[in-house]
Structure 1
Amino acid sequence: MLTVETIRKIKLAHGRDGKTIGQIVKDFHLSRNTVRKVLRSDATRFEYHRTVQPMPRMEGFTGWIVEQLEHDSRQPKKYRRTAKVLYEQLQGRGYEGGYDAVRRFMRRWREEAGLKAPDAYVPLEFAPGQAYQFDWSHEQLEIGGLPMAVKVSHMRLCHSRFPFCQGFPRETMEMVFEAHNRGFDFFGGACGRGIYDNMTTAVSKVLRGKLRELNPRFEELCAHYLVEPIMCTPAAGWEKGQVENSVGLMRKRFLAGRTKFASIEELNEYLLERAVGWAKSQQHPELRDKTVWEVFEAEREMLIRPPKDFDGYRLEHCRVSSTCLVHFDRNRYSVPCEAAGKVVQVKAYAGRLKVVEGGRLIAEHKREFGRDKTVYDPWHYVPLLDRKPGALRNGAPFTSWALPEAIERVREVLRRYDDWDRQFAGILTAVPSHGLDVVAEACRMALSQRTVSKDAVLSILNRQQDDELASEVSIPSRLELGCMPVADCARYDRLLRGAYAAQ
């Protein structure tokens, strides 16, 4: 194979230096035919292209492969066999050649049959505030010292190209809602259209063409933000190519060299900081005289601003157990004891849970994402202490209960008595009606008076309540009579006559 440099030296030796073909042959150790070919041609580069690929081991098997390929071409794409599968089937029929020969034969056959379309795409253009693209990616990171598969949501404005990404522990419906709320909060509004793939949290069923049966809650989200959802064609990632590029941008630029974070919140702050820094330094691909951040600032004025965030929760109905717990997502959460045995509604948000019974909020907890964890609120069990005071000794909700210092000191003093649990339970049951701070102050007064008991604390609470009621009655400093009294001593004589008459 002649290199470009050798061809250049041959032409210079003949055209500039006036050397003959024989001299060039001796100087470069080439054949005369090679030198003549270079001098007679205007080409500056010679390449060899193989027109026929010999495949001797494929003889006798090509007919069977063609039959299988023709059969597969009439099947849906997801049921067509790959080159690897056909190669393994060929080996079962006695084929001793390599896999590469089978792959090249299948590719050439598909090209000749017109089954392989060229990779060509139509460039897309979007007006300010017209559309955004949304997608998920899965990243293997270390969160809090433990390996974790973090689900990262990507939302990218199509006009300004600004990428907004946030990490979540799951990819469920409530996480989709939270990702949109955070994105639209940062952008300052929503676009007219949202471009999605056919994620199961948004699409219940893929119908013919562009028709989709959407999840009702996802439709509520789009209606709240006045967004028209556009679902991509299956396996057509180029229809949302910008957000696909955002995934690579995050992996190669934002997370390059750093995969350890103390929490998901720290990860999200880091991703937002890197996204803003990238946008302020990156030139816009179309508006060359502006950065991505400058175009984004201008696009903000074109976004639709909703009055408030979408109430993004996933609703489930659960029955409260006899231990006042609801089971949700492999974990347990306490509710007030009055709801034991009832069916309640659990509203699952991205980071918290709300429990509703009869349209009334009865409990709220921070959401846990592990397994087999139990989250207690000890105040949910306090009404039971009136009948079961012994639960204070070994009750699971009370083992690590942090109470105000004064109440803790009262408990330590009461431990000297045999019925300390009953007395302390009586003090705790007064908290719902009086308030924790008021009961703590009553405990401090009892400790200062050295009269620590249930009756003493309740007496102080009752006196405080009576004082508050008395202070609410206003007595004027000067009383004025509307009718002045008149002196009449004869009234006494009349009263005496009436008394004698009665005898």
Structure 2
Amino acid sequence: MLAMAEINYIRHEANRKGSAYTEIAKKLECDPRTVKKYAEMEDFSPETKPPQVRGARVMDPVKPILDAWIQEDFQKKKKFRRTAKRMYEVLVEDYAFKGSDRTVRNYVAKQKIKLAEEVEQAALPLEAKPGTAQVDFGEAPFLHDGKQIVLPYLVISFPFSNAFLFQVFPAQNKECFMEGLKRMFHYIGGVPKAIRFDNLSAAVKKVLPNGERELTEAFQNFVLHYE
């Protein structure tokens, strides 16, 4: 780009003295097309570029999906959890994701650390007292009709005696959760004095900042029935 003094020289020589563009270009050691451009230019006001409208970040639409998968997998054994690579593949196949696998891997790793810290901070101490129990969902391979299949199971354990009961179900939902508890209570002939639930989504709707739990409506009604 030429300096303003050179531009003024071009316009003076070309427009007032009638010098040829090639002659002026030779003196300034520049291209004759540059001389022509500035000699014929009418508007010297600064060029304003339109503001850039940035599209939505590629990760924003899929973050809620990844968060839900990470939350679900956190309640499963490690060998049954989705890998970040598998999450990326499903996003591409089912959600037309256009981002990179590295972006997904970084986000998943960060969210797993964040979730682990939240769970650790909200964890309640489990005391091995008589009459107390712990309830959780898990997954394991079972032999059914000669084939090995992975099914969820609900387990209630008693830390004081190291005893436990479990019930296999087709899904990890609130219906199976409460049906399993009902059967176990019937089998043992009562309800434990205190039960710890490991933030199961079927029982706990939200972990509050003070460590309290907001229960799901269905489980709250279930609790009231057994009080």
* TM-score normalised per structure 1: 0.20
**Higher relative contact order at CA 8 Å, sep ≥6: structure 1 or structure 2?**
2
* TM-score normalised per structure 2: 0.43
Q: Which has the larger radius of gyration?
A: 1
